[in-house]
Structure 1
Amino acid sequence: MIVAGLGLRSGCDMQVILDLLHAAQECCGRQADLVAVPAFRYDEPGLRAAVAHLGLMLRGVTRAQLLAAQPRCISHSARALAATGVASVAEGCALAVAGPRSRLVVPRLTGTHATCAMAQGEDA
């Protein structure tokens, strides 16, 4: 399973998310099976539109899950830490949902108002 993790600001545009997902998928050489985001961003309109456009499932990640994944993240952002209390949102979401023995296949990519990372679960 390939999980695309996203971190995004409130009001992030659908096209920004689509562009980041496409860039991450090109780096990985595979399409994501699902998208994971922090639970506090789950209902963002641009996100929901992007995921629906691609026909992917969306999974919300709790704060506890994000915190548990942090030691496995390789990118850290002081801005994200100050804003959310988590230093690696996109990588944390991808790793949390892909499973405890998952690995990053695309470290954090940064776009306008969003970040994206991809993790591969054991079964992929």
Structure 2
Amino acid sequence: MGADEAVTPLTIQARVPGAAPPPQVLRGPARSPATGALRPVVAGIGFRHATTPDEILTLVAAGLRQADLAGARLSALATAADRAGDSAIRAAAETLGVPVVAVAVEALREAGRRVVTRSARIEASRGVGSLAEAAALAAAGPDARLVLPRIASAGATCALAASGDDLPS
């Protein structure tokens, strides 16, 4: 993708109305029990306006290392729909070769019922305890589980989620 090409954000809407399952964190590597293959992992990103692409990239790499998923297949960067067009996340996604997933407010709030981290500031401004966790969970699907709860740098947060389609409960 050239410098003149824009990353087209995908939009995720709320998928499952009603009560969400309790928060769960996937323990160990995000592997499919059936095949043992690494699942695609979604990185949920929250960030301030002055955050650089390098800070986002460094945080995603640190998250993958902390979750023991350095070789995992990152499938997307997910963030709030109103931030998905920001140049920092678009440049980070381009460097990683993944799309930016724009998560609608309703989907963030639905997934927000399953987050394990609570920030009073983000809860007041966004209606979810952790934007990064909610975005990762929403983009990874209705049965997704956190692989790594939110980690933070000076200007960004990152959480990792994988599909829970065939995970044991």
- TM-score range for the pair, normalised by the shorter chain length: over 0.9
Deviates more, 1:60-69 or 1:81-90: 81-90
Residue correspondence of structure 1 range 78-117 to structure 2 within 5 A: 78-117=120-159
Is it true that 1:46 corresponds to 2:85 in the alignment? no
Aligned to 1:121: 163
| Structure 1 unaligned blocks of 5 or more | none
Structure with the higher strand share, 1 or 2: 1
Q: SS in structure 1 opposite 2:74?
A: coil
Alpha-carbon shift at residue 123 of structure 1 (Å):
5.3
CA distance, structure 2, for counterparts of residue 93 and residue 57 of structure 1: 14
CA contact (8 A) 2:144 2:165 kept: no
CA distance, structure 1, for counterparts of residue 123 and residue 129 of structure 2: 4
* 1:44-74 C-alpha deviation (Å, 9 max, x unpaired): 1111111111111111000000000112100
**Higher RCO structure, 1 or 2 (CA under 8 Å, sep 6+):** 1
Number of residue pairs matched? 124
Normalised to the residue count of structure 1, the TM-score between the two structures is 0.93
Structure with the higher helix share, 1 or 2: 1
Q: Cα RMSD over matched residues?
A: 1.4
Alpha-carbon shift at residue 112 of structure 1 (Å):
1.3
CA distance, structure 2, for counterparts of residue 32 and residue 83 of structure 1: 28
| Structure 2 unaligned blocks of 5 or more | 1-39
* 1:20-52 C-alpha deviation (Å, 9 max, x unpaired): 110111123124211111001111111111111
Larger radius of gyration: 2
Q: SS in structure 1 opposite 2:65?
A: helix
